[in-house]
Amino acid sequence: MTQLVQVLILGLLIGGVYALLASGLTLIFGVMNVINVAQGALFIFAAFLSWTLWKEAGIDPLLSALVTTPIMFAVGWLMYVGTIQWISGKPASMSVLLTFALALVIEGVSGMVWSTTSHSATPGYFASSYRIGDFYFPKAQVYGCGIAVIVLLALYALLRGTWLGRAIRAVSENVSSARLVGVNAHNVAALTFAVGVATTGAGGAIASVLYPFVPGSHYVWISRLLGIIVLGGMGSLPGAVIGALAMGVSETMTATYVSPRWATLVPYVVIMVVLLARPQGIMGAKLREDVVV
Amino acid sequence: MERAGELALRHGFAAAVAIGALGLLAYPLISDNLYYQNMIILSTLLAIMASGWNIISGFTGYVSLGHSVFLGIGAYTTALLSIRVFEGASPFWFVPVSAVVAGVFAAVVGAILMRTRGHAFVILTIAFLFVMQIVTLNWSDLTNGNHGVTLPLPRWDAAYQDWPFYYSLLGLLALSVALSWWIRRTKFGMGLIAIREDESKAAGVGINTRVYKVLAYIASAVFVGAAGGVYAYYLTFIDPRGMFRIIVSVQIVLAALLGGRGTIMGPVIGAFIFEPLNEVTNNVELLAGPRRLVFYGAFLAAIVLLLPRGIIPSLAEIRTRRREQRTAATVGQRLERPLVRVAERAPAAADPSGRPLLEVRGVGKRFGGLAALDDCTLAVPEGSITALIGPNGSGKTTLFNVVDGTMPHDHGEVWFDGRRIDGLSPWARAHAGIGRTFQITRLFREMTVLENVVTPLRSFSWRQLGADAVSGPEAERAEELLEFVGMRRFAPMRAGALSYGQQKLVELAQVLMLDPKLIMLDEPAGGINPTLIEHMAEMIRELNRRGTTFVIVEHNVPLVLGLCNPVHVLARGSCLCSGPPDTVQHDPAVLDAYLGEDYLAGVG
């Protein structure tokens, strides 16, 4: 029983971080119907940035999120302007190919700058834990999850409370109507993409402490993130949070009770089962598909 | 002049391919350079994979980003058989087994994956690749996991170098290309293209899309599996990470896109351009290690952005665009006189109270909180021209979608010709005799007008899959139908190049090809000029005289009242009232819900 609760604690803490990483992916998909397969590579890139700031400038890797987030925002904006905007209206498979191509470029660039050896930021609290009763709360995970929650709340506030947020929601519901009422859909798409990519700044900062990473780690991560947003319903932010917690718990459970080797299989199984059994996910609404815009 | 030029180009292309093939056949006999032999072997391997990929992703339009999974499956099949089961036998014996195993995997996985499309399908193909990698890594009792499998070394005379690999792969490539060529000229291939262009439309004109897609997936996998067997023996050592590599899948897509997806030779040519480039750049310091990924990524991005259709189709497009510009003038020409020569059915007396051909009983369909159809009940008498009118959003098109199977309904029953059809697939309903046109025309844009009209299938049979795509009697009938709608002279044109009104006519001809008992027309007069509306009404009457029953959704009230009996009025998802046109147009409820008070005043 104690072990089960401990596993649940760890799973939920990881799930919080997953939720942050998946939020950008689901936000971008919701607004522009593009699955940004490069999201994983971008987040590994951000993790490398945090690692460098920690190694070279001694900045706490978690605090470096304040620096990496604006950098990733700029990267996202450039990516949109330089490439993504040119494939709007093309078949979905083309956008997957394009963002996959960008993922390769980013993976290659990360490898060129930081080499392909395993990296990990190890600040002082790296290996220590809080202890409450019989249960351990690893400090890095607690801080990471805390930051993730803060960023998610900020994102939620942005979507709910600002004009940009309303515009984003309007565009994600219906592009042409949003245009008619004066929303510049192009700018909204660019900003959404940039905001979506900016979440990898904080995500990368957290992950640089929690997990050792190499440039090629992004495959595992993007699979996991896809699993999460597919589970929660593509395009749904609350869905992404629920999906992330479920993914965190089920991975930790599999690693503890079956074998860590098979835990890597969990995201794929989730993707397959969900896409086939309930393609709209947990929170996704079933929409009319016959109205072709 | 132009024709001669085109003929020369086509012959030139065929000659170039033949010379290339001969060159490849002769190369090992002429030169003993192992470096180039290796390069050709790898290019051939990539060409086989790209050619297979092209069947599912080029012809059928389902982009797979994990197609190298079949290379891995084939490689492991041959490797494990030759070290675990039949020790001492030449691995070449197991190459056919690899093909079969890959095919079986494709059948099973395809039956599941093919239920999704678009993003979901691409993601699932990647997931399938990674799942196979993880399973081979972890199931070490069978696969040696991480440590990989070492195959026996070749035992032939060193003088023969890598010839057995070289020629067996070349043979597989020839088979693979032959398969693509054969598919492309059969009914099966045309069905695949139709699925690529518009899948639900394809299902609606009688194509069993489920079987077609799974067969295409199998066809795209078998030779890749066989090549994997040869490749494993060639390498003599395989491991999960090397065999189930996502980057190989990327190379496949790159090669096929580069040469041109959807063409027969494109993927092969693309592979023979890409792989040597890959080999050469591999030895360039500037492009080694992580830079290689940047190179691949930038290359793929550039193709997607700049040449999304590949080299061959882009060239062909420039040519056809020039040709279409020249025929554009004829598009505005007057329609030909309709000559009526369509299949005769025993004419049924249009008796509004007669036997119902189509019956909708208490059908409901919700979209989230909106009830598009709410306990809708109505009947279409056999031999009638029945109208379905009602305000926008009253559920008319949704009713069509439920009747033809485009959309599942929530509850209620649909009966057609004495049998319940609401559980049937769209193609089965088409086979039963329901044809349908769309409010916004949905032709297969990349096909010619003639191909569009011959695509519909009145039944499904395995034999028919292999029949010629456009066969004599069918083409003749299609031409007759085109003549009936006045579009015969447009037969060789690309459907996407036609005007909206012309597309409506072609869509009607396409539906007639099904020889349906019931035709459902969704706004046949919407957005077309008055002359054409008159022409359309004439054709509907003519077809009806010959026994075809119609259901028409239309906002053009004078047309409806002059043509149809009975008239059903839909409002908020259910049938408000039904009856002959003059009764309906005076019904207060109808005036209130649809026609408006001014209507009567207008009619006077």
**Mean pLDDT lowest among A48-52, A128-132, A288-292, B181-185:** A288-292
Which residue from B119, B132, B67, B69 is spatially nearest to A230, judged by alpha carbons?
B119
Strand partners, B367: B370
B290–A111: do the CB atoms touch at under 8 Å?
A: yes
Mean pLDDT throughout B385-403?
88
Cα separations in angstroms, B223 against A85, B45, B183, B268, B414: 37, 10, 14, 14, 44
Check residue A103 and give its pLDDT.
Answer: 93
Q: Which residues of A touch B305 (CB under 8 A)?
A: 83, 86-87, 98
CA distance B576 to chain A (A): 24
Check residue B321 and give its pLDDT.
Answer: 64
CA distance A210 to chain B (A): 23
Cα distance between residue B239 and residue B150, in whole Å: 9
Higher pLDDT, B269 or A288: B269
* Residues in CB range of B463: below 8 A, 6 or more apart: none
Q: Which residues of A touch B397 (CB under 8 A)?
A: 290
Cα distance between residue A120 and residue B481, in whole Å: 70
Q: What's the residue count for chain A? A: 293
Write down the H helix ranges in B236-387: 240-243, 246-259, 266-282, 290-306, 311-331
Mean pLDDT throughout A54-69?
88
Strand, coil or helix: what is B92? helix
**Residue B23 near residue B155 (C-beta atoms within 8 A):** no
Q: Which residues of B touch A111 (CB under 8 A)?
A: 289-290, 293
B488: left (phi over 0), alpha (psi -120 to 50) or beta: alpha
Mean pLDDT throughout B97-108?
96
- B109, closest residue in chain A (CA to CA): A272
* Residue pairs spanning A and B at CB distance below 8 A: 139
Helix (H) or strand (E) holding A161: helix A139-161
CA distance B231 to chain A (A): 25
Task: Flag whether the ipTM exceeds 0.90.
Answer: no
B133-188 pLDDT per residue, tens:
999 998 888 888 888 899 888 888 888 888 899 999 999 999 999 999 999 989 99
Q: From the centroid of its chain, how far is CA B406?
A: 16
B299-316 pLDDT per residue, tens:
889 888 888 777 777 777
- For chain B, the distance separating the N- and C-terminal CA atoms, rounded to the nearest angstrom, is 63
Higher pLDDT, B124 or B195: B195
B291–A112: do the CB atoms touch at under 8 Å?
A: yes
A92–B305: do the CB atoms touch at under 8 Å?
A: no
Query: Looking at residue B397, what DSSP letter applies?
Result: H
Cross-chain CB nearest to A290 (options B134, B293, B401): B401
Check residue A123 and give its pLDDT.
Answer: 80
Cross-chain CB nearest to A93 (options B63, B368, B407): B63
**Residue B576 near residue B593 (C-beta atoms within 8 A):** yes
Cross-chain CB nearest to A96 (options B65, B130, B401): B65
**Mean pLDDT lowest among A76-80, A178-182, B80-84, B126-130:** A178-182
A100–B115: do the CB atoms touch at under 8 Å?
A: no
B396-445 pLDDT per residue, tens:
889 999 999 888 888 899 999 989 998 899 999 999 999 999 888 889 98
Check residue B136 and give its pLDDT.
Answer: 93
Q: Is the pLDDT of residue B494 over 70?
A: yes
Check residue B142 and give its pLDDT.
Answer: 87
Average pLDDT, chain B: 85
A276–B246: do the CB atoms touch at under 8 Å?
A: no
Cα distance between residue B298 and residue B49, in whole Å: 22
Cα distance between residue B224 and residue B244, in whole Å: 13
- A106, closest residue in chain B (CA to CA): B294
Q: Is the pLDDT of residue B325 over 60?
A: no
CA distance A83 to chain B (A): 8
Check residue B52 and give its pLDDT.
Answer: 96
B304–A94: do the CB atoms touch at under 8 Å?
A: yes
Which residue from B269, B240, B239, B275 is spatially nearest to B256, judged by alpha carbons?
B269
Check residue B340 and give its pLDDT.
Answer: 47
Cα distance between residue B89 and residue B229, in whole Å: 14
B127–A271: do the CB atoms touch at under 8 Å?
A: yes
Which residue from B263, B389, B368, B359 is spatially nearest to B317, judged by alpha carbons?
B263
In a mutagenesis test of the A interface, which of B112, B123, B199, B241 is the best target, namely the one with the most A β-carbons within 10 Å?
Answer: B123
Cross-chain CB nearest to B301 (options A96, A101, A275): A101
In a mutagenesis test of the A interface, which of B117, B131, B137, B304 is the best target, namely the one with the most A β-carbons within 10 Å?
Answer: B304
B304–A92: do the CB atoms touch at under 8 Å?
A: no
- Tell me whether residue B235 is exposed, middle or buried, using C-beta atoms within 10 angstroms of its C-beta: 0 to 12, 13 to 18, 19 or more: middle
Confidence of residue A124 (pLDDT cuts 50, 70, 90): confident
Q: Which residues of B touch A288 (CB under 8 A)?
A: 367
A104–B296: do the CB atoms touch at under 8 Å?
A: yes
Cross-chain CB nearest to A268 (options B65, B127, B290): B127
B119–A35: do the CB atoms touch at under 8 Å?
A: yes
CB atoms within 10 A of CB B17: 15
Check residue A293 and give its pLDDT.
Answer: 26
A134-154 pLDDT per residue, tens:
888 888 888 888 888 998 898
CA distance A114 to chain B (A): 10
CB atoms within 10 A of CB B143: 22
Cα distance between residue B403 and residue A27, in whole Å: 36
Report the predicted TM-score, pTM, of the whole model to 2 decimal places: 0.85
Q: Is the pLDDT of residue A92 over 80?
A: no
B134–A104: do the CB atoms touch at under 8 Å?
A: no
- A117, closest residue in chain B (CA to CA): B290
Confidence of residue B328 (pLDDT cuts 50, 70, 90): very low
Mean pLDDT throughout A235-247?
86
Q: Which residues of A touch B121 (CB under 8 A)?
A: 93
Higher pLDDT, B451 or A122: B451
- Tell me whether residue B208 is exposed, middle or buried, using C-beta atoms within 10 angstroms of its C-beta: 0 to 12, 13 to 18, 19 or more: buried
Average pLDDT, chain A: 84
Cα distance between residue A166 and residue A172, in whole Å: 10
Q: Is the pLDDT of residue B225 over 90?
A: yes
Mean pLDDT throughout B331-343?
46
Q: Which residues of A touch B131 (CB under 8 A)?
A: 265, 268-269, 272
Q: From the centroid of its chain, how far is CA B527?
A: 28
In a mutagenesis test of the A interface, which of B249, B305, B522 is the best target, namely the one with the most A β-carbons within 10 Å?
Answer: B305
Strand partners, B550: B385, B519
Q: Which residues of A touch B137 (CB under 8 A)?
A: 261
Check residue B335 and give its pLDDT.
Answer: 46
A108–B290: do the CB atoms touch at under 8 Å?
A: yes
B250–A290: do the CB atoms touch at under 8 Å?
A: no
A93–B118: do the CB atoms touch at under 8 Å?
A: yes
Check residue A291 and give its pLDDT.
Answer: 34
Confidence of residue B598 (pLDDT cuts 50, 70, 90): low
Confidence of residue B370 (pLDDT cuts 50, 70, 90): confident
Q: Which residues of B touch A106 (CB under 8 A)?
A: 297
B293–A288: do the CB atoms touch at under 8 Å?
A: no
B367–A286: do the CB atoms touch at under 8 Å?
A: yes
B124–A93: do the CB atoms touch at under 8 Å?
A: no
Q: Is the pLDDT of residue B388 over 80?
A: yes
Tally of CA atoms within 13 A in the half-sphere of B140 that contains its CB: 8
Confidence of residue B372 (pLDDT cuts 50, 70, 90): confident
**Residue A48 near residue A119 (C-beta atoms within 8 A):** yes
**Residue A204 near residue A45 (C-beta atoms within 8 A):** yes
Which residue from B446, B506, B516 is spatially nearest to B481, judged by alpha carbons?
B506
Check residue B594 and give its pLDDT.
Answer: 72
B296–A264: do the CB atoms touch at under 8 Å?
A: no
B251-299 pLDDT per residue, tens:
899 899 888 888 899 999 999 988 888 888 777 777 777 888 888 889 8
Check residue B595 and give its pLDDT.
Answer: 67
* Secondary structure (DSSP) of B304-316: HHH-TT-HHHHHH
Check residue A159 and give its pLDDT.
Answer: 83
**Residue B63 near residue B121 (C-beta atoms within 8 A):** yes
- Tell me whether residue A40 is exposed, middle or buried, using C-beta atoms within 10 angstroms of its C-beta: 0 to 12, 13 to 18, 19 or more: buried
* Secondary structure (DSSP) of B189-225: HHHHHHHHH-HHHHHHTT--HHHHHHHHHHHHHHHHH
B308–A90: do the CB atoms touch at under 8 Å?
A: yes
CA distance A233 to chain B (A): 12
**Residue A205 near residue A47 (C-beta atoms within 8 A):** yes
Cα distance between residue B353 and residue B364, in whole Å: 25
Strand partners, A67: none
Q: Which residues of A touch B256 (CB under 8 A)?
A: none
Q: Which residues of A touch B440 (CB under 8 A)?
A: 292
B293–A111: do the CB atoms touch at under 8 Å?
A: yes
B515-535 pLDDT per residue, tens:
899 999 998 888 788 888 888
CA distance B237 to chain A (A): 23
Mean pLDDT throughout A206-220?
87
A83–B305: do the CB atoms touch at under 8 Å?
A: yes
Cross-chain CB nearest to A94 (options B246, B308, B368): B308
CA distance A268 to chain B (A): 6
Query: With pLDDT > 70 as the criterion, what percentage of chain B qualifies?
Result: 91
CATH topology assigned to domain A2-292: ABC transporter involved in vitamin B12 uptake, BtuC (1.10.3470)
**Mean pLDDT lowest among A55-64, B339-348, B355-364:** B339-348
CA distance A152 to chain B (A): 26
